[in-house]
Amino acid sequence: MSNKLFGNKKDKKKQGTTMSLSDKSKFAIVESYKVARTNIMFSLSAAHKKIFAVTSYSKGEGKSTVSANLAISFSKMEKRVLLIDSDLRRPNVHNIFKVDNSQGLSNIIGNMVSFDDAVKHNVLTNLDILTSGTIPPNPSELMCSTTFIDLVKRLQDEYDYIIFDTPPIGVVADALLLKDLIAGFVVVVRERSTTHGDLQKLLDSIKLADSKAIGLLEVGCSYDSKRRKKGYYYYQYY
């Protein structure tokens, strides 16, 4: 599946990513995400939870792009959706939607700002976004805090769906800290990049944490070996 951002004409202006796809491919992408959405919804209803996280084993496999596209897809069902950037080390959601990131999740957990002051309402119709906020020195600690847990529990009454973008599990285990708050993980694998070994290790980690994978999303995109060689995806806090 290609996973560029999609939307209708009305939404275009607000989106951070250009829509360079042809009508035909746009239709295919929208349909692919609808299929993914339907399958995720079945898993969520079985789990009686409407919160899930998007993750992958390695960096740069497409987690943030998939999180954004799924959030858009869910919001098009007239449901209230919140996308939270819980990658407190190398956040990207604010870049995708071109919104300010001076106040966000880390600042709320640090009691510096309220949720209402930090959240970006209706970035697209029915879609609110909570960006990462200031990059903290102790992301894992923040995500274990009762402030964070209480926040998520409160938000699940306010939204129909909550989606977390996360850092890669093979690099840092932050995503697994969400396990008790979510129905499970949507796993992203990238064509010609994710190996079978990586995927197995990721699924093992999720199982070991007593959580589950509720979907596997393959993004078929060209692998940019030059960027990798240059260390483009270097995470300084890892």
Ligand X SMILES: Nc1ncnc2c1ncn2[C@@H]1O[C@H](COP(=O)(O)OP(=O)(O)OP(=O)(O)O)[C@@H](O)[C@H]1O
User: Is the CB of 61 or the CB of 174 nearer to ligand X?
Assistant: 61
Q: How far is the CB of 187 from Mg ion (least distance, A)?
A: 14
Q: How far is the CB of 60 from ligand X (least distance, A)?
A: 4
Residue 92 makes contact with Mg ion by CB under 5 A: yes
**Among Mg ion, ligand X, none, what does residue 126 contact (CB within 5–8 Å per kind)?**
none
**Among ligand X, Mg ion, none, what does residue 3 contact (CB within 5–8 Å per kind)?**
ligand X
Residues 59-88, one symbol each (x = binds Mg ion by CB under 5 A, - = not), give: ----xx------------------------
Rounded to whole angstroms, what are the CA distances from 166 to 39, 51, 138?
A: 20, 13, 15
Residue 63 makes contact with ligand X by CB under 6 A: yes
Residue 58 makes contact with Mg ion by CB under 5 A: no
Residues 132-171, one symbol each (x = binds ligand X by CB under 6 A, - = not), give: ------------------------------------x---
Binder among 21, 43, 221, 237 for ligand X (CB under 6 A): 221
